Structure 1
Amino acid sequence: MPESTRIRQQPAPHSPHAPAWRLGVKWALSTLAATLVLAALLLPDTGGALQPDRFSRLPVEAIVGAALVLALPRRGRIVAGAAGGLVLGTLTVLNLLGMGFTEYLGRPFNPVLDWGLLPDAQAYVADAMGKPVAIGATLAAAALIAALLGVMALAVVHLAHLLARHRRAATRGTLGATVVWVLCSALSLQISGVPIAADRAASALAIQTRGVRDTLRDEADFRKIAKVDAFGNTPADQLVPDLRGKDMVFTFIESYGRSAIEDPIMAPGVDRTLAARTKALAKSGFHAKSGWLTSATYGGSSWLGHSTTLSGLWIDNQQRYRTAMASDHLSLTKAFQKTGAWDTVGIMPGVQKAWPEQRFYGLDSVRNAFQLGYKGPKFSWSTMPDQYALEAFQRLEHGRKRTKPLMSEVILTSSHQPWAPIPTMVDWDRVGDGSVFDAVEKSGKKASDIITSPSRSRAEYGRSIQYSVTALTEWLQRYGTDDTVLVFLGDHQPIARVSGEHASRDVPISIVAKDPKVLEKVASWGWTDGLRPAHDAPVWKMSAFRDRFLTAYGSTPHPRKG
């Protein structure tokens, strides 16, 4: 029998004579490929929208794709299928990143600016869960991305060939699906409130494209904004004249948000602490006024909150931050340096590498995590307890004899997620080099037990805020003088798992002083007496604080117009 005849007589893989298991495998692969592609086409970019009914829709992209591959020759089908699969895989990666960013930062992932934040996420996992977990998570993420791109490309190519082999049935099915999609779209037909006709992938690509365009446009616009400064040309002798002779302390408490004060689970303990600390400060002669600021960030990226507060610019993304740091815009802390009437210092226990931002903030010197003399254990992400950082600040800077008063920027990190283990207060005389905290850290809760539980996270977050506020105000009682002025605030709300899906971006801010003239200067602001701002206390954008503060304490505007 000729070879060609023998080949023609062999059963085709899809013929009724092919082994049943082979047909089963082929249909299983086809079903899996179709499921993957449909899921990718309908996948939302927020965890809250990840509901079963979202995947019962008819995506127009599948119909258009089917029509395209049916019209193409074999080579064209392979190229179009592989390209479409890579696009779909990339979109899936962006959607997954969007879920993570929405959960932790309260905003979508920006494909232009946010890749640089991923190393910070890895460092956070390493600090919170250990380096092996961080390395494993990084490798798993890389493998997942590679698998998504590869598998999605193979799935689309496989479906393209399947449609071509059954061209007549596929053509009829595509035409029928088109009619159904058009009717459902025109009549706005829904199932359980969800539209049947979907264009999720196309819309997502359009949103990402607009986001890239808007980001590039915003970069150019913000450069112009940063050059304009109401106090940019103010002479040194006309900056903060009403605070001359005062030791100024600007302190950010990590993740200290409105939820800590008003959430029904966290608020009772935090409010008790604020009331007790207000009373204790009053006994020592200190009084406070408090209000609200709306932060430029949420859940993380603390540096955006710090820079917005101190620059008077709305800095809500990494590009704006880089632009501001490279500019000559006058930061609030730099205003004190510019006068020549203050020594200026930064206490940065969270900084563990070079920090060129020192120039923008006008700090004569900066003490980072390695320059505070700490010999104790890390508390998850936080390099040292707030109590130790404050005691080191006193020993190394605030308590030194000086010819000028001191202006300090202090960042407190004990309330940084994952809120385990949390330090506890020790006798101030026993703080020493921090070794006393070994036992405290060992007896604390494990980060892995807290980070996976929303209820535990909320409870421990509240405890961490109580600790940070207590450490700061006890430091003020112990070391503050008649000329000490403390301004402290939160940099952002905690993540949605703690603050809630629809929480505001508000953070509390307080000014504390013994000298009554200091608080009289801000009496017109309508802030609440004490450390706890009232629910209806004024709410300003965080970027408004610099100009209001400079104006309240006698600074004269001399604008720079760019």
Structure 2
Amino acid sequence: MSLLTRPRQQPDEGSDDRRPPSPVRRVLAVTATVLAFLLVLFALVAPNDLSKLTPLAFVRIPVEGLVGVVVLLLLPSRVRKPVAIAAGGLLGVLTILKLADMGFYASLNRPFDPVYDWTFLGPGLEFVQGEVGDFLGWVAAGLVIVVAIGLIVFTALSVSRLGGFVGKHRTGTVRGVALLAVIWLVLAPTGAQLTPGQPVAASNAAALAVNDLRQVSADIRDQQAFAREVDADTYAGQAPDKLLSGLRGKNVLLVFVESYGRSAVMNSSFAPGIDAVLDTGTKELQQAGFAAKSGFLTSPTFGGGSWLAHSTLESGVDVNTQYRYTSLINGERLTLARMFKDAGWRTFADDPANTRDWVPETQFYGYDSVYDSRNVGYQGPVFSYATVPDQYTMNFVRQHEMAKTGPVFGEIDLISSHVPWTPLPQLMDWNGMGDGSVFGPQAANGKQVKDVWPDQAKVQEVYGESIQYSLNTLISYLKNFGDDNTVMVFLGDHQPGTLVSGTAADHDVPISIVAKDPAVLNRVAGWGWTDGLKPSPHAPLWPMSAFRDKFLAAFGEQPTR
């Protein structure tokens, strides 16, 4: 037989095509499978709260994993891989939501809202850019996107790899799943835990998916409920001459002190220093002829989202989500600012955190003048997030608004106590600030972020110092420039983040009314607030949304509607 007609030899069992994998390849294959298992385990059992993320939290049996393995075993081999990839992709998306929960619990002390909280991405990017610069901020944003996409892809591939593994080891897999299922069924009714709040018989992923779906449904229902709440305004149509008559001729300043929460004045390591400022300030203001009353309000937000608190207090409705905020500012609900304007006051807003136009300030709130970091003449340094020191802000208001004739109402947002709370400006001569350049050495020589973060004790210390600075600024302003027609209402917008206030902190913030004219405080005597700048632990607690109507009732006539 010639070579041309000889049958081609088939590879035998000992040929290279069927050679066992090398030790290196076996190690790599085992490593890849183990990593895939660990990623899927993290996705299934990791808690969505960083404070609960401990090694023992992973020593648990996820029922979703057991069900998933059974489904993969029952599927025909030809469809097992595509189903595993699809399931893994969904698990990756759920893991991203879980990571978002971790971030929100750490900063805002609540889970991520999958419908409305995407709007926090913009302010979050602006904050990062304020810390590291625009370019690095965009780089960080790009990395987050890459990581998110990579997490979905790798979770899908991991589930696919584990699907192939269980298909090759059916007998051992069935026995293992059966044993774990029995253990899960025995432990589930008992709620047995190796670490608090984390049952060994776990169902985290399913619970998270159900909770997110419920949140979506609740958000949809809330849209109609909020619309009814906004429309039910008892002060709509009230004659301007019946509004705020008890404050005629007064200059009224509504001042928000960033992150000034209940933890600042009680039950914390930094409260004694802040309380000392309030006690001393009360005495100094009394010597200057002022009196004050203080209480507590419950903010709609925690750790951030200041605009939700501002709009809640001014509008008298609970603005606790971004949807509610967007809906509110696109409507015609009356705000304190617009009521003061309608009643004859000149109005202004000063928000030094803004670096671009904030349309609601003129279109919704109705301010005559709006100031921000771009138009107050400040030429000094930024103090981390704070673009303008609080004292400069108050001095600008004194020189450009309070010096004008006629009564004025203004909302002022102080930001020196905004996270990361360092470096921090120091009080100086009110007449020596000029364009703010003199603050340069303070920013350069103060404690820097890298020297403080993420040490919790140091962060709490600088937070307390920042609140003391903001409060001392207001006290000094009133002592030096307040007169018989000055009325100041100052309050916190929300509690500081959990790193400072703790995971058990409430949403309460202090609020104080300061005036020299006794007639002003006499009108709020029935509120039961504490005398002085420091509220008693037993001072009345109202929702922040209740303040507008209580304030209007105290200083004007009851609505006719």
**When the two structures are superposed, what TM-score results if normalisation uses the length of structure 1?**
0.95
Q: CA deviation at 1:166?
A: 2.1
Q: What SS does structure 1 have at the residue aligned with 2:512?
A: strand
The equivalent of 1:325 in structure 2 is 329
The equivalent of 2:84 in structure 1 is 81
The equivalent of 1:216 in structure 2 is 220
The equivalent of 2:3 in structure 1 is none
Structure 2 residue 231 is the aligned partner of structure 1 residue 227? yes
Alignment of 1:89-238 (within 5 A): 89-131=92-134, 133-186=136-189, 188-191=191-194, 194-238=198-242
Deviations 1:303-326 (A, max 9, x none): 111111111111111001111111
The answer (yes or no) to whether the contact 1:255–1:415 under 8 Å persists in 2 is yes
The residue type equivalent to 1:480 in the other structure is G
The residue type equivalent to 1:202 in the other structure is A
Measure, in 2, the Cα distance between the counterparts of 1:187 and 1:467. 52
The answer (yes or no) to whether the contact 2:57–2:195 under 8 Å persists in 1 is no
Measure, in 2, the Cα distance between the counterparts of 1:97 and 1:249. 37
The equivalent of 2:306 in structure 1 is 302
Q: CA deviation at 1:532?
A: 0.7
Q: What SS does structure 2 have at the residue aligned with 1:5?
A: coil
Residue from 298, 313, 316 that aligns with 2:317: 313
Q: CA deviation at 1:192?
A: 5.6
Residue from 67, 73, 84 that aligns with 1:70: 73
Q: What SS does structure 2 have at the residue aligned with 1:361?
A: coil
The equivalent of 1:385 in structure 2 is 389
Which residues of structure 2 form unaligned runs of 5+?
1-5
The equivalent of 1:277 in structure 2 is 281
The answer (yes or no) to whether the contact 2:260–2:495 under 8 Å persists in 1 is yes
Q: CA deviation at 1:443?
A: 1.0
Residue from 430, 434, 437 that aligns with 2:436: 434
RMSD: 1.9
Measure, in 2, the Cα distance between the counterparts of 1:364 and 1:448. 41
Structure 2 residue 266 is the aligned partner of structure 1 residue 262? yes
The answer (yes or no) to whether the contact 1:261–1:271 under 8 Å persists in 2 is yes
Q: What SS does structure 1 have at the residue aligned with 2:364?
A: helix
The answer (yes or no) to whether the contact 2:57–2:194 under 8 Å persists in 1 is no
Q: 1:445 to 1:7 in 2, by over 3 A?
A: farther
Q: 1:334 to 1:74 in 2, by over 3 A?
A: same
**Higher mean C-alpha displacement, 159-168 vs 294-303:** 159-168
Structure 2 residue 454 is the aligned partner of structure 1 residue 452? yes
Measure, in 2, the Cα distance between the counterparts of 1:190 and 1:454. 28
The equivalent of 1:354 in structure 2 is 357
The residue type equivalent to 1:46 in the other structure is D
Residue from 423, 426, 439 that aligns with 1:424: 426
Measure, in 1, the Cα distance between the counterparts of 2:296 and 2:78. 62
**When the two structures are superposed, what TM-score results if normalisation uses the length of structure 2?**
0.95
Report how many aligned residue pairs link the two structures. Answer: 554
Q: What SS does structure 2 have at the residue aligned with 1:512?
A: strand
Q: What SS does structure 1 have at the residue aligned with 2:535?
A: coil
The equivalent of 2:463 in structure 1 is 461
Measure, in 1, the Cα distance between the counterparts of 2:512 and 2:208. 42
Measure, in 2, the Cα distance between the counterparts of 1:374 and 1:54. 51
Q: CA deviation at 1:362?
A: 2.4
Which residues of structure 1 form unaligned runs of 5+?
none
Q: CA deviation at 1:168?
A: 3.1
Residue from 496, 504, 512 that aligns with 1:510: 512
Q: 1:191 to 1:392 in 2, by over 3 A?
A: closer
Deviations 1:384-403 (A, max 9, x none): 10111111111111112x2x
Structure 2 residue 23 is the aligned partner of structure 1 residue 29? no
Residue from 495, 504, 528 that aligns with 1:493: 495
Q: 1:186 to 1:278 in 2, by over 3 A?
A: closer
The equivalent of 2:44 in structure 1 is 41
Measure, in 2, the Cα distance between the counterparts of 1:517 and 1:334. 24
Measure, in 2, the Cα distance between the counterparts of 1:336 and 1:192. 55
Measure, in 1, the Cα distance between the counterparts of 2:194 and 2:429. 63
